[in-house]
Structure 1
């Protein structure tokens, strides 16, 4: 097993759901973890305390993906945290995890709703990664969050899903351009996961849960720890020759 001690991962959106589970799995695997939150500082601090209880360093920072103009301030705060809390100037991995859902037909999608999806899921990861690139160690890793919905289609997810398709393309371009720094870039594409995302529909709607399970080769919907373990792998040296890939973690849905 590769030694991940003293390696730092910055994971956006770590106060709940997949982000929280991934942050905890990273810590259990030896990484120090910095998470971001938009509004839920108390929840984020609870995750930080759980990580510290595992013997790893951790901190949380506020980040609003909808406000790209705030990214310079975020980077400044990150530099301060790294210096004072971690005794370093750089991170080893960036996980662009944070995001929100949007459920509407193309016919009913509003311009505001479309713009929110574009900013949160495409513009923000593009420019946040641009700002953070100088602070990622050579040989580091970037993990972008795509979606199974970028490959298969369900009604009412168009505005969300097409941004995730854009993330898959962005991943390849980042891998190409960041290769000179020996930074690997891959996207992880979760299938339907039982979390509070989208109002908890997959978790709480038994008919939807059963439909998805019936279309999945392994016969169930995903759980948060199905995703976190893959993020750990992509942040570790064990995935050192995996680059520019879209890795779908969906149990084999619609194959």
Structure 2
């Protein structure tokens, strides 16, 4: 797996020196790398979580390496201490923001968590009183830019998954998708993202083609993770905004892909 941001790549976090010491490491079942039994104490919790999510994605949740075992045990203990629920429950409401600059390029981020993919900026409504406030905060939190001129593009339910516990309405979200303007150099600030970048319409279209190929089963998982396309639900928002095109057949395949399983 090759990730675009050398500053944080879960596949480089093994830092293994002695694979012959069984007391110090366990082997990742998906490759020949070894992971110390305990992560380094200075490692941010969100980076450890991202690594575990990545391992889950390539082993169908069956990873037995040292760091996954450590994380899962910590999670089990936390759940026992907090009534069995430590992962935040989904509120079934999300905001999405299609941010363009003065050159009409679209601001996207490369997601580090399954099912991966290139997306616009998003967040749950949570404690925000109104979706527009949540949308502005999502842009600031994820890329450090101020969004201006927010216009509501669509408000629609989608049966897409997120990493939280299933909400009261089941799997899916009532999406409030906005179009906005911003300029400047974005910086991926959320630990779920590898990088933020501006893309032209041609570049977006090429990524949609890749997503459609993956949805049709023409692209192996390893190739998708090496260079993901547009995340499924975002293909629909980009299409509604007139930024990309997709055939009816491709949209139907991608519709099925919108509910790809992710770690909750």
Confirm or deny a common fold (TM above 0.5): no
Please give the TM-score of this superposition, normalised by the length of structure 2: 0.22
Q: Whose helix fraction is larger, Structure 1's or Structure 2's?
A: 1
Please give the TM-score of this superposition, normalised by the length of structure 1: 0.23
| Bigger Rg, structure 1 or 2 | 2
